[in-house]
Amino acid sequence: MAGTGEIDEGFYSRQLYVLGHEAMHRMGTAEVLIAGMKGLGVEIAKNVILSGVKSVTVQDEGQAEWSDLSSQFFLQEADLGQNRATCSLPQLSALNPHVLVSAHTGPLNEEFLLKYQVVVLTDSSLDDQKRFGDFCHERGIRFIVADTRGLCGQLFCDFGEEFEVLDRDGEMPATLMIDRITKDNPGVVICADDQKHGLCDGSKVIFSEIQGMTELNSMAPVEIKVCGQYSFSICDTSNFSEYERGGVVTEVKQPLMLNFKPLSEALNDHQLLILNDYGKMSRHNTLHLAFQALHSFVKKEQRLPHPWSQPDADLLLNLVKELNSVSKLEELDEAAVRSFSYTARGDLAPMNAFFGGLAAQEVIKACSGKFTPLQQWLYFDALECLPEDGGCLEESSFSSRGTRYDAQILVFGSEFQQKLLMQKYFLVGAGAIGCELLKNFALIGLGAGEEGRITVTDMDYIERSNLNRQFLFRSKDIGKPKSEVAAKAVAGMNPQIKITAHQNRLDPDSEGVYDYSFFMGLDGVAAALDNVEARVYLDKRCVLYQKPMLEGGTLGSKGHTLVVVPHLTESYGPAKTSSGNGIPLCTLKNFPHRIEHTLQWARDQFEGLFKQTPENVNHFLRDPKFIERTLTHGDAEALEILGGVWSSLQEMGAGGQRPQSWEDCVSWARCKWETLYSNDICQLLHCFPPAEVTPSGLPFWSGNKRCPHPLRFDPNNTTHMEFVMAAANLYGQIYKIKGTRDITAIRKTLEKVQVPAFSPKSSVKIHLTDKEMEEDRKKEGDDTDKARLTELKGKLSSLKGSGQMYPVDFEKDDDSNFHMDYIVAASNLRAENYDIPAADRHQSKRIAGRIIPAIATTTAAVAGLMCLELFKLIQGHKKIESYRTAYLNLAVQYFVLSQPCRPQSFEVAGKKYTLWDDFLVGGRRCNQQEMTLADLIQHVKETNGLTISGLFYGPAILYSGQEDRLKMSMSDLVKKVTKAEIPPHEKMLELIPSFEEDEDCETVPIIRYKLL
């Protein structure tokens, strides 16, 4: 985003929900220098360019070497011997048309640095770090150092003497409904119990709309102290008026001023080191000294330590001990120093991906003032990727061979590289994380050997909003399949990679493709999915076929990774219920109190008016049994559905709602406005007047119940007209009637519209709870309802020959289709009814469109961590302490790496099992006839000492004591009970047994019955 013009919301869509418009505008003025274009430098540059600063200059004096190709994804073999920055420039420039990218091939000096607001050094000497760090600190230039050496890395930030953080964490300020406030010293605010306040001691809040204790409404931000999840104390309220009802409390975010030390001073301050791995409590202190010692080693020897050289490791360890004579660390991890020395020449793509994500996020913080910067050192290592036996390997197997994997062989050796090349992996998802994983796979050589392969599937097609973080895609790829374009892009990075692209959704329907043979031919699976249901399904398949799975996900600046190792760790597991987060229907229908409620209501209105009703009409026209089936839903629901079908088919002149012209569509929209924002509210207030009290004498309209007021239509009100225009156009679309955006013409049409008068009815019932609503829906209708249903059936029979309708599928990213126009206007009008602050289009789009905020930095970091776990899987690590589960939040430099959980055990007849334990049975042994049920029962008894008393295949009961089934083959038994053929691709049956020895056991090992 060069300059300070308009933000390209189509391109930056998902990132805007992470950073916000103000931060993006500030970034649009920032000029950034990134020095060093090896693997780490290009990773940082890629992420910073995608983020949308004004300009990025990449600097490097060096020429491309074989070792660079292990992690520098924008270099090719043809670039060997040429300047790294110059060769990388064309691809970096293509990432984001809004960012000016240039290359500098000369040395760095102080005068050159003055052009930039942020300077990032990679692959630099400690002398340069100190020299340029002191210079930048004095001149107010934000200064970042990032470095990776083999399996270890460091990150340092210095943002000057005074750096203002405008938003510490990027979270939305809390907005809460007040239940009551005490008159006390201090006063206590009790919030409505539908959401926890989420505030912390020292947070500041303001009050509004309070009735009674109105003194609080005009007060400046008040500091709070947490009392509980739904309450907090404020100032002295003992002399204030008595609290009556209502009120909203809103968190006020406070800026934070931070002070940084220059690198030369910060080197000696161990308080500035951030712990991140709870399996290595003091490792970061050792690495702080080890990196300094490595600089001394290089200065003295004019080279890095030789791979797996004992003499060099001894020398580096002595240098660390010299430094520690001053630092006086209680625990010095000598083994880690030796491993650091052995692998320091290596350059690994996953380490660069992780640190490249972190460092780029710090650049964004420096440019925008958004989020809390690192203060000031971070160290991370993945030395547990090395062989678990801890032995020292032979130097000879780590020599350079003139291949693109040289810098990786320097860490793991040539034998491990061969293992990588032979891997067969399945990647599900080619979106943001999928692109990053594929890039890493190509660089490390996963599946790039003669017998190796990668299969990637993704059913989605590339959209413009993908380009900001799915870096393998360009504008010319919009509309093409993600998996195909991603596969082609990484094949360009590493021509040796063997990759097959599919466009299949992973679900039961694709089990004919991803069957027993497919999974049994895999070494592992990587999940780059954006929804829980797909993750759960893939996890079940991996458990069934006993395959390891790498899983990762992001939400804005937050990310997580999980590695699933058969027989060692727990699996991803079943979907966690989210019913507790749902909005009650009665809240949506009558008692909204947050903008999320009005937006969901608007989305429901959209689905009902423009999708569900037209679909019902089309079902009615095509399906002779539609009415009969609808009547089974209960009288109330049947009346609603059939009434909607009839009115949609009957012309307006005959009492229906079917338009014949554009003017009819405008008339419908205007009348719909009156119904939703005036009549329905008048009816609600007729049933529950503003002064209504509950049976206990308390005000009815209090707490979460905001008292609404009807609106009066005004053709000069922008929001009113936007609703009419969007609603009329959408109504026209479902009848194939052409509309217009000409507001003047619509206003003229409205002058002729007759809006029916409305009088509230005392017979209308307003539901106060979802339970009450559900009970009424299920009730059998009275005689009046039944008479109306009979009448409707008669009326509908004469409309069977009517023309079909054209349902509309909600699409949030097309600004020309009126979908978001309708949602925004409909929601904000309802918000006005209930005095809820309105939401702009951007915020409305995120909530109503259920958009997942995303940014390239988090994606890169998560993919890097996933690939470090991949190294461990391929090493064949057996110890659970070697693996890591990660949770991170780049906004606040929160990193928690811990060992995964072991699988939960259960007991059957006194013996312990886990989900990984099953009874694998070959249905045909030694080419004999297939097993009978009796054979299976006998086999399980002989091999496991358990007697089968019952056997289930899905919901089907195969056996519960029926002797006549014992002689049937298992295939025939399944066919007989299910009354269906076994699908040809199903080569393994999952059978759930119950055992005589422990019939009350709820969880048992499954029987995996192989049909082969």
Element (H, E) at 896: strand 894-898
Q: Which of 227, 235, 586, 687 is catalytic?
A: 586
Beta-strand relationship, 377-381 and 273-274: parallel
Element (H, E) at 378: strand 377-381
CA–CA dist 118, 345 (Å, integer): 28
Bridge partners (DSSP) of residue 204 are 223, 252
What phi, psi does 408 have (nearest 5°)? -85, -35
Q: Is the dihedral of CA 861, 864, 870, 875 positive or negative?
A: negative
Report DSSP state, residue 834.
T
CA–CA dist 399, 280 (Å, integer): 30
CA–CA dist 923, 987 (Å, integer): 10
Quickly count: other Cβ atoms within 10 Å of residue 1000's Cβ. 5
H helix runs in 198-309, sequence order: 263-266, 283-301
The separation between the first and the last C-alpha atoms of the chain, rounded to the nearest angstrom, is 59
CA–CA dist 437, 737 (Å, integer): 47
CB 992 within 8 A of CB 897: no
Report DSSP state, residue 898.
E
Who contacts 872 (Cβ-Cβ below 8 Å, separation ≥6)?
384, 385, 563, 882, 883
CA–CA dist 120, 116 (Å, integer): 10
CB 750 within 8 A of CB 663: no
Q: Is the dihedral of CA 41, 43, 45, 51 positive or negative?
A: negative
Estimate to the nearest angstrom the gap between the alpha carbon of 166 and the chain centroid. 25
Report DSSP state, residue 485.
H
CB 705 within 8 A of CB 178: no
CB 75 within 8 A of CB 84: yes
CA–CA dist 734, 658 (Å, integer): 10
> Is 586 a known active-site residue?
yes
CA distances from 21 to 15, 426, 595 (A): 10, 38, 20
H helix runs in 399-473, sequence order: 406-412, 414-421, 432-444
CA–CA dist 33, 139 (Å, integer): 15
Who contacts 905 (Cβ-Cβ below 8 Å, separation ≥6)?
912, 913, 914
CA–CA dist 615, 847 (Å, integer): 25
Torsion of Cα atoms, 405 then 406 then 412 then 418, to 10°? 50
CA–CA dist 862, 177 (Å, integer): 37
Helix (H, G, I), strand (E, B) or coil at 204: strand
CA–CA dist 413, 420 (Å, integer): 11
What phi, psi does 479 have (nearest 5°)? 95, -10
- Edge-first strand listing for the sheet containing 204-208: 222-223, 204-208, 248-252, 175-181, 188-191, 231-233, 225-228
Torsion of Cα atoms, 393 then 399 then 401 then 402, to 10°? 130
**Residue 512 identity:** G
Who contacts 929 (Cβ-Cβ below 8 Å, separation ≥6)?
969
Closest by Cα among 151, 115, 145 to 133: 145
Please state the length of the chain. Answer: 1012
Catalytic residues: 586
